[in-house]
């Protein structure tokens, strides 16, 4: 087993990963006419190189591609890099479903090398953080899938966002991205609607990528709603979702009433300059509209020696 894992770890070194990506990209569907001077592998690996090299724009990559020609070939397996406009034209036609196959392959590599097992935490659970990521905005450039936002100055801004799932561990600096789902205009008119609808497509992907792991989904307060939690339960996931008094008045109000009746578990722990205060109740209804969804409620507060909450 150790020898197999060591061999699998070799496959996670940067040169081996670049070869893996190049091989995967060669298989992508090319809808262009035959005899193109730029291959799909070169276009896709060039797109990857833009992010790897932290270029601020495709134009910057274009201006540097001649000087980088040798490095692009030896490190990124790019035989001929496209221009910035050429790269846009090729990559705009790539279907997202093909990119998801690459994530599946990377997931297998992580499992084979024992990395996923190393990221398991409490009771063998793997923490998967899901959150929205804003990655494009413009007042002029837009497409049919752009989200539209009216800014404080009254101008309309077009945006692109992703709902991303990454494996995290409290003792590790590195996170492992495993799935992404675009949030598109058709998903709704509010941030809550958009992320909830995108999550319906993302959650099955996470389940497919982590079929053997006990996943615990970690999310912010936007996800503390009945429809989304039903999707998590349907997938068999546990979850840790933050809640706020303004957005979850029912839960906080119920907690206060139970505390008045002495039915809330409380604990304090002093550590250095601070006191950690915990309040805990099991199996509370999520809200008045979803009483059948039972959740465990944990309220944590950090207080200094003068009684000031932080």
Cα–Cα distance, 192 to 140 (Å, whole number): 25
Instruction: Report the candidate in 200, 206, 252, 256 with the shortest Cα–Cα distance to residue 229.
Output: 200
Give per-residue pLDDT as tens, 100-118: 889 999 999 999 899 999 9
Q: What is the pLDDT of residue 62?
A: 95
Of residues 212, 20, 224, 254, the one with CA closest to residue 126: 212
What pLDDT score does 3 carry?
A: 63
CA 191 to chain centre: 16
Judge whether 109 and 20 are in contact, CB under 8 Å: yes
In the predicted model, residues of the chain with pLDDT beneath 70 are 1-5, 189-193
A 10 A CB-CB count for 146 gives: 19
- Domain map (residue ranges) of the chain: 2-91, 124-240, 249-304
- pLDDT confidence of residue 273: 87
Give the integer Cα–Cα distance in Å for 9 and 108. Answer: 12
Q: What is the pLDDT of residue 290?
A: 94
pLDDT confidence of residue 168: 97
Other residues' Cβ atoms within 10 Å of the Cβ of residue 289: 11
Q: What helix, strand, coil percent values describe the chain, rounded to 5?
A: 40, 25, 35
Give the span between the Cα atoms of 129 and 111, in whole angstroms.
18
State how far the Cα of 97 lies from the Cα of 90, in Å rounded to an integer.
16
Taking the C-alpha atoms of residue 112 and residue 97, their distance in angstroms, rounded to an integer, is: 23
124-240 belongs to CATH 3.30.420 = yes
CA-based R_g, the chain, Å: 24
DSSP 8-state assignment for residue 33: P
* pLDDT (0 to 100) of residue 52: 95
pLDDT at 20: 95
């Amino acid at each position: 087993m150790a020898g197999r894992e060591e061999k699998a770890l070799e496959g996670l070194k940067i040169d081996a990963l670049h070869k893996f990506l190049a091989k995967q990209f060669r298989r992508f569907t090319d809808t262009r006419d035959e005899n193109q001077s730029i291959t799909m592998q070169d276009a896709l690996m060039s797109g990857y190189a833009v992010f790897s090299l932290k270029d601020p724009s495709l134009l910057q990559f274009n201006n540097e591609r001649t000087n980088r020609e040798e490095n692009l070939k030896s490190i990124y397996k790019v035989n001929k890099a496209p221009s910035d406009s050429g790269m846009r034209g090729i990559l705009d036609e790539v279907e997202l479903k093909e990119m998801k196959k690459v994530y599946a392959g990377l997931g297998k590599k992580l499992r084979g090398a024992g990395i996923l097992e190393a990221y398991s935490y409490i009771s063998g659970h793997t923490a998967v953080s899901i959150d929205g990521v804003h990655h494009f905005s413009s007042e002029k450039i837009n497409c049919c899938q752009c989200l539209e936002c009216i800014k404080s100055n009254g101008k309309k801004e077009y945006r692109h966002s992703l709902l991303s799932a990454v494996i995290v561990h409290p003792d590790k600096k590195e996170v492992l991205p495993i799935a992404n789902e675009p949030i598109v205009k058709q998903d709704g008119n509010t941030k809550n609607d958009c992320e909830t609808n995108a999550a319906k497509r993302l959650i099955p992907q996470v389940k497919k990528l982590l079929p053997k792991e006990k996943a615990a989904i970690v999310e912010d307060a936007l996800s503390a709603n009945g429809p989304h939690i039903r999707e998590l339960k349907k997938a068999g996931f546990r979850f840790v979702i933050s809640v706020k008094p303004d957005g979850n008045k029912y839960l906080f109000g119920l907690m206060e009433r139970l505390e008045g009746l002495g039915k809330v578990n409380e604990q304090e722990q002093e550590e250095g300059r601070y006191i950690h205060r915990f309040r805990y109740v099991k199996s509370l209804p999520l809200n008045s509209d979803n009483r059948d969804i039972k959740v465990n409620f944990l309220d944590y507060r950090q207080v200094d020696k003068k009684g000031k909450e932080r």
